[in-house]
Amino acid sequence: MKIEKRRFIVGVSGLAASWGVKREADSAAVLSTGGISAAHVWHKIMGMAPGRAMIGKLNRVLASSPIIVFLSPGNRSPYKREGSSRAQARRQVEPRLGHSSRNPGEMALLTIRHVRNVFYPILAAFGVPANLLTMVVLFRGNCGLSKCISFYMVGMATADLLVMIFCVIGYHIVMYQFPVSFLSYTSACKVVLYFMSSSLQTSVWYTVLFTFDRFVAICFQKFKAMYCTVRTAVAGIITVLLLVHLQSAPYLFEYKPARVTDGVHWGCQPNAWFVSSPVGVAWSFLQSILTVIVPFFLISLFNCLTVRRILVASKVRRELRGHSSQTQKDPEMEARRKSIILLFSVSGSFILLWLTVAVSFLTTRLAGTAHYDGNYTDPAYVATEAGYMLMYLSSCTNTCIYAATQTKFREELATVLKSPWTFALILLKRS
């Protein structure tokens, strides 16, 4: 029987194994990497020993994902049967399949997985309370910021909180670490994938709105009174929210169940007809452009124009004030200083943390080299994984930026953190 490579989407974690056979009845689920005997693999599937030529073909196919649990038709997943986690399932399977020394690609993949397993829980543990605290502090309205800026900052904090919930906790922790959970149902999987896309795009475009608002306030004084208002901020936030959710709607139809067990739909895998259709290809490309390239370009452009405007205005004002007042501070520039620092801190952090993702997208997706065929030592693959981590990190850095650059925000944050303990002390004294 001729062996051909094929991509299997496994469960809801989106992991893929680049290997397969012609027979549709044979199914496979990747647990982890390691080594097994090609003859043992063939015997597990076909029930007979392979020939020498077939062993050679199997060895080449298994080079990218050597540890595989093979499930005969109708069998349940070992995750569901044992009720165990990925690591436990691997310990149960490896002794039966045998284990050999790992190659550099497998070691690189394991290293990346270990980093992911540590990074995302820490990120969620910090990001969720940080964004919640930011929302509470800004809602109190005692930070010395205009209501227009506060609305944008609340919108960004809310979107970042949803990124933490759906992208980091829902996908990278629950769905990745626990392949069989309530999120393993196809309906729940589709909802998570939908909100992953919509929350991430919302966070990005709220940052673009904030940057544009500050750009208008600094560079167009006559237009500032008309644009930089609460009404405009609310209208912009709602419009972006509606457009993003409308644009992400195909996620609800793009995926189909990865498997059906006893009439229950499990996991998600792309519908081949949609992914391969011109509409699906165009929509996927548009998603990437609107999430990475366009916002990155706009934020960079607005910041460059803002810097140019500030430099020109500062030079003109120094000339008008004369040389005798060079040692005196410019009251107008001092009034704008905090706003300028806040703008450059937020947008600069976004640019730095999204830079790896943007470069990785340009060098892989646009160049048509987004698939690595099991070569996990490829710098492009490592850069892509690192870029995702930095991208999600940008959803919890704004709280630190606000606390570092805004004195009143820092004071209000300290007050909010002390409030539960103060309330508890009052209750203890009364009792």
The structure tokens 């801190």 sit at: 345
Residue 272: what pLDDT? 80
Residues of the chain with CATH 1.20.1070.10: 106-422
Structure tokens at 164: 């933490």
Residue 321: what pLDDT? 64
* C-alpha dist (Å) from residue 345 to 196, 321, 398: 25, 29, 9
Condensed to tens digits (0 to 9), the pLDDT of residues 32-59 reads 333 445 555 555 455 555 555 555 555 5
Residue 382: what pLDDT? 81
Q: Coil, strand or helix: which one is 152?
A: helix
The pLDDT confidence band at residue 341, using thresholds 50, 70 and 90, is confident
Range 183-201 average pLDDT: 90
Instruction: Say how far apart CA 339 and CA 144 lie, in whole Å.
Output: 11
Condensed to tens digits (0 to 9), the pLDDT of residues 373-427 reads 556 667 777 888 888 999 999 999 999 999 888 888 998 888 888 887 766 666 6
Q: Which of 139, 62, 75 is closest to 106 using CA atoms?
A: 62
Q: Interior CA angle at 103 toward 43 and 122, to 5°?
A: 105
Highest mean pLDDT among 23-37, 97-111, 274-288, 339-353: 339-353
Between 183 and 317, the higher pLDDT residue: 183
Range 334-356 average pLDDT: 84
The structure tokens 């005196």 sit at: 328
For 2-6, the CB contacts below 8 A with 24+ separation are 3/54, 3/57, 3/58, 3/61, 5/61
pLDDT cut 70: percent of the chain above it: 65
Count of beta carbons in the 10 Å neighbourhood of residue 9: 17
Q: Which of 159, 214, 220 is closest to 348 using CA atoms?
A: 214
Range from 107-111, 177-181, 213-217, 247-251 carrying the lowest mean pLDDT = 107-111
Q: Interior CA angle at 15 toward 276 and 61, to 5°?
A: 85
100 exposure class (CB count in 10 Å sphere: 0-12, 13-18, 19+): exposed
Whether the CB-CB separation of 165 and 227 falls below 8 Å is answered with no
* C-alpha dist (Å) from residue 36 to 10, 41, 69, 209: 19, 7, 11, 53
Range from 16-20, 34-38, 270-274, 387-391 carrying the lowest mean pLDDT = 16-20
Name the helix (H) or strand (E) containing 16. strand 15-18
Instruction: Say how far apart CA 156 and CA 208 lie, in whole Å.
Output: 10
Highest mean pLDDT among 12-26, 117-131, 279-293, 311-325: 117-131
pLDDT at 73 over 50: no
The pLDDT confidence band at residue 91, using thresholds 50, 70 and 90, is very low
Whether the CB-CB separation of 356 and 389 falls below 8 Å is answered with no
Whether the CB-CB separation of 73 and 15 falls below 8 Å is answered with no
The pLDDT confidence band at residue 253, using thresholds 50, 70 and 90, is confident
Q: Coil, strand or helix: which one is 139?
A: helix
Residue 12: what pLDDT? 28
Range from 89-103, 137-151, 287-301, 311-325 carrying the lowest mean pLDDT = 89-103
Indicate the fold that domain 106-422 takes in CATH.
Answer: Rhopdopsin 7-helix transmembrane proteins (1.20.1070)
pLDDT cut 90: percent of the chain above it: 27
Range 72-98 average pLDDT: 40
Q: Interior CA angle at 126 toward 124 and 132, to 5°?
A: 95
The structure tokens 């097994």 sit at: 36
Residue 99: what pLDDT? 44
Q: Interior CA angle at 257 toward 77 and 264, to 5°?
A: 60
Residue 275: what pLDDT? 78
Residue 49: what pLDDT? 57
Name the helix (H) or strand (E) containing 95. helix 86-97
pLDDT at 151 over 80: yes
Name the helix (H) or strand (E) containing 32. strand 27-32
The structure tokens 């069989």 sit at: 180
Range 275-301 average pLDDT: 87
Range from 87-91, 107-111, 181-185 carrying the lowest mean pLDDT = 87-91
> Which ranges of 104-146 would DSSP assign to H, the alpha helix?
104-140
Condensed to tens digits (0 to 9), the pLDDT of residues 205-233 reads 999 999 999 899 888 888 888 888 999 99
Residue 67: what pLDDT? 36
